[in-house]
Structure 1
């Protein structure tokens, strides 16, 4: 059975739009992702002014991370039981970077005293075998893997 018979999108038309991370302090989280990880903060002023429910950070042209305060959990009613997702861990989110960006991220993390794992080598992922990867946590305990392929 090939991927198309299972209904998987094989024409690269499916993209990851956003990931919602539960955080204690959205502005502190946005600051971490901007200054440590190197992402662009979005809607932080609007959040601080109370105009929007959460800020975000931009991963790339197509993908953002929404930084949802835990206080929003009680309003998660898109599906029965959705509010129960607050505090349910995702194992990790993996960021794919160029070799230079990978090294720069590791340096920034260490400069800010963020614990990083040892390197892993030849780990399988969406683009095949990654040359190197490592793990780190954000201030809310969300685990990230950083890797580069080429």
Structure 2
């Protein structure tokens, strides 16, 4: 365990440590959602042509080399049978997903959101997260109402 300045600790990352693989977001229009995440948030779209051609059940966007966001169309609700009640999650986004960015990427994201008139919150300072206290953070929503926090630590 590695100590962090506020007394909490972090587990050192190894190739075998747990990672976040993907988050599934319910969206009304996956192609439009992929466009938003590509052009506004700056993420790489995946499988959009395959989805548009009916070959893939949903597109995704890549956050980093290990993590993606799947953009699940509401039409998949009827197929959500992996456990009882799974279909009930449709239309209920998670509270929020936090994106940890480098300072320049953080500032660029805020500028793109403002340029596209996406409402953003005021800045928060010293919010606790996975890496300790973040210097700044703010919140925004995607077109489907999913809430995101963006932050930078240095």
- Corresponding position: 1:120 with 2:124: yes
Partner residue of 1:99 out of 98, 103, 106: 103
TM-score under structure 2 length normalisation: 0.90
Cα distance, 1:11 vs structure 2: 5.2
Which residue pairs with 2:87 in the alignment? 83
Partner residue of 1:48 out of 43, 52, 61: 52
Cα distance, 1:89 vs structure 2: 2.8
Which residue pairs with 1:39 in the alignment? 43
Q: What do the CA deviations read for 1:26-52 (whole angstroms, capped 9, x no partner)?
A: 000000000000000000000000001
- Corresponding position: 1:21 with 2:1: no
Partner residue of 2:72 out of 68, 86, 93: 68
TM-score under structure 1 length normalisation: 0.92
Instruction: Find the residue that maps to 1:30 and give its secondary structure.
Output: helix
Q: Provide the rounded CA distance (Å) in 1 between the counterparts of 2:92 and 2:22.
A: 18
Q: Provide the rounded CA distance (Å) in 2 between the counterparts of 1:89 and 1:32.
A: 17
Matched length: 143
CA RMSD of aligned residues (A): 1.4
| C-alpha contact 2:26 2:93 (8 A) present in aligned 1 | no
| C-alpha contact 2:93 2:145 (8 A) present in aligned 1 | no
Regions of 4+ moved over 4 Å: none
Instruction: Provide structure 2 residue ranges, at least 5 long, that are not aligned to the other structure.
Output: 2-10
